[in-house]
A and B are shown apart, each in its own frame.
Chain A
Amino acid sequence: MIDFSLTEEQEMIRDAARNFAQNELVDRARDADEEFNLPEDVTEGAWAMGFVAGAIPEANGGVGMDRSPTTNVLVLEELGAGCPSLASGAMSPSLFVNPLIDFGTDEQKAEYLPAFTGESFTAGTLAMQEPDFSFDPANIKTSATLSNGEYTLNGVKRLVPLAESSDHILVLAKTGEGIGLDTLDAFIVPRDASGLSISNERERTIGFQAVPHYTVTLDNVKVGASQRLGGEQGIDGARLVNSIRIGAAALAVGCARAATEFAIDYAKERHAFGKPIAQKQAIAFMIADMHTEVDAMRWMVWKAAALLEQNHPDATKATTLAQNYVQRKAMKVADDGIQVFGGHGFIRELPVEMWFRHMRTLTIIEGPVAA
């Protein structure tokens, strides 16, 4: 039996996220995009909602909600429907917090998680992407070499969100050779570590202007063995990457949903040749396809999140399929969203061109959030 219904708690969480996103993100999205600004009240507001820190265990000063990728994708879809860019900025700390909860040793949790249980937004981030052509998280170039009880990290990381305001950066690196997500390791590196430098300029991207992204260079950065996430056990690299990919996919589902709903409202009101364009088949079929794809993407994301939550062996496959599907279809929905609006679609007064740019970012960038 398959039951797609949510628990009462999940429905309440989704409603809360929807209210927050519709009231606090939608109207701020355009200015944040034009001004390259992540407004403080947005990050503080999202922080107060407990979207990031809710799952920090009580033992580490948190409230100890279930660490649930399924609930997280519900939240991320809603935030993505509000504004995926602001959502990514506000949720960036999840890139540090969630892996710590999932893989951290008791000592690491005790040391790093309490900082995220306060009342104010606390930045945290993950350095994953690298500048190589066709970057692949299964074949990462950043290296961590063990000698005399400490690791030496070398490599260049790109598009690291909020790097300049995070006290610690979780750096993905490889301790051995080989290829595969199981070769991944993560290191908790202080931002002010010797040899770590952050680009002065923000990286310029097609979308996600609200989120400051930086290049982080690691030049013989030395960290103790205790900074290796998960201690001697290390991490489950596939699980980490899955949670990041499914988080991005959930944001994309939300953004695609917003584009679809916006297009439907417009198509019902916009008249051409004597009737609403929604009654023209060229538009009606397009909108029907958009709607269908949003549902299809959502089910794939939910399935992957559910398997991820169970730590099921098929989670990686489900995530890969969902990511692949979402990357193609979300882009198509965003594109059709512009097409429905015709000549109005590419004007910056309407959000559709902005969603298109965000979607382009979202379907390429690895790691705006972790589910």
Chain B
Amino acid sequence: MKVLVPVKRVVDYNVKIRVKSDKTGVDLANVKMSMNPFDEISVEEAVRLKEAGVATEVIAVSVGPQQAQETIRTALAMGADRGILVKTDAEVEPLGVAKILKELVGAESPDLVIAGKQAIDDDSNQTGQMLAALLGWSQATFASELEIADGKAKVTREIDGGLQTIEVSMPAVVTADLRLNEPRYASLPNIMKAKKKPIDEKTVEELGVDIAPRLTVLEVTEPAAREAGVKVETVAELVDKLKNEAGVIG
């Protein structure tokens, strides 16, 4: 069984991001970029499937600029077997990524795609779902547990208020939630081995995919600063404020 894992190059989660002064987006100049943390979880899950003898090959794919190759290299250092970089300097929306992935799935015929549930840059949470729809495959989103047996995937999903366990037939798209696993660190020997693993490069044109944006970004702004709290003198005052100002009690 082949597993395809899409990995996205995003602003490192430790970076305090800044909005550009012209409000057109986030300032990416000289900002540390890393693999989307949810994608690390996807890679880890795929590598564990391989180590357990369930998967035979793990392919890490990324859509993005030349530097996205570093993100793929990280996935290879974690244990993926080879990589595919679909090179583009354009901003690609989730639908565009899903279409590109559909073409790669067509070429590689994996039985399973494990994607991060969302990327921490735009938090769209759409690519996995769109890919499943385009392929006509089963989908299981927000997975916190994954078990593959007899051509089926048993997936525990994190939903509001609890856990839901579903079984989907393969091939399938699974999206990884935070608690699916704890990704391993790339060890030094594996970083070295990753250098020798192949990364194919493709272009959007070669795949014949239309990635023209469907959305227009009007403005990007910082979240409103948190207002300072107030001190109350009495319990009565507190209750009054909760009732009449915050509106949290009736």
Binding site for B on A (CB under 8 A): 8-9, 11-13, 15-16, 19-20, 48-51, 54, 63, 65
Task: Give A63 to B192 CA distance when docked, in angstroms.
Answer: 9
A49 touches B185 (CB 8 A): yes
B70 touches A8 (CB 8 A): yes
B185 touches A50 (CB 8 A): no
Within 8 Å CB of B34, what residues of A? 15
B191 touches A12 (CB 8 A): yes
Tell whether A16 pairs with B192 under 8 Å between CB atoms, given A8-B70, A8-B73: no
Within 8 Å CB of A11, what residues of B? 70
Interface residue B77 (Cβ < 8 Å from any Cβ of A): yes
B185 touches A65 (CB 8 A): no
Within 8 Å CB of A65, what residues of B? 188-189, 192
Q: From B193, which residue of chain A is reached at the shortest CB distance?
A: A63
Task: Give A8 to B238 CA distance when docked, in angstroms.
Answer: 57
Q: Which of A8, A12, A51, A63 contacts B186 (CB 8 A)?
A: A12
Q: From B186, which residue of chain A is reached at the shortest CB distance?
A: A16
> For B74, B186, B189, B191, which residue has the most chain A Cβ atoms within 10 angstroms?
B191
Task: Give A81 to B186 CA distance when docked, in angstroms.
Answer: 19
Binary contact readout B166-190 vs A (1 if CB under 8 angstroms, 0 otherwise): 0000000000000000000111111
Within 8 Å CB of B77, what residues of A? 12, 16
Within 8 Å CB of A13, what residues of B? 188, 191
B73 touches A48 (CB 8 A): no
Interface residue B197 (Cβ < 8 Å from any Cβ of A): no
Interface residue B23 (Cβ < 8 Å from any Cβ of A): no
Q: From B67, which residue of chain A is reached at the shortest CB distance?
A: A8
A16 touches B195 (CB 8 A): no
Q: From A23, which residue of chain B is reached at the shortest CB distance?
A: B185
Task: Give A106 to B183 CA distance when docked, in angstroms.
Answer: 38
24 of the cross-chain contacts (CB-CB < 8 Å) are: A8-B70, A9-B192, A11-B70, A12-B74, A12-B77, A12-B186, A12-B191, A12-B194, A13-B191, A16-B77, A16-B185, A16-B191, A19-B185, A20-B185, A48-B185, A49-B187, A50-B187, A50-B188, A50-B190, A54-B188, A54-B192, A65-B188, A65-B189, A65-B192
Closest 5 CB pairs of A and B: A50-B188, A63-B189, A54-B188, A50-B187, A50-B189
Distance of A86 from chain B, by nearest CB (Å): 16
Within 8 Å CB of B191, what residues of A? 9, 12-13, 16
Docked complex: B55-103 residues within 8 A CB-CB of A: 70, 73-74, 77
Tell whether A12 pairs with B73 under 8 Å between CB atoms, given A63-B192, A65-B192: yes
Task: Give A54 to B190 CA distance when docked, in angstroms.
Answer: 10
Distance of B243 from chain A, by nearest CB (Å): 32
Task: Give A50 to B191 CA distance when docked, in angstroms.
Answer: 10
B189 touches A9 (CB 8 A): no
Within 8 Å CB of B189, what residues of A? 50, 54, 63, 65
Within 8 Å CB of A49, what residues of B? 185, 187-188
Task: Give A49 to B189 CA distance when docked, in angstroms.
Answer: 8
> For B190, B192, B193, B195, which residue has the most chain A Cβ atoms within 10 angstroms?
B192
Within 8 Å CB of A63, what residues of B? 189, 192-193
Q: From B76, which residue of chain A is reached at the shortest CB distance?
A: A12
Within 8 Å CB of A19, what residues of B? 185
Distance of B74 from chain A, by nearest CB (Å): 7
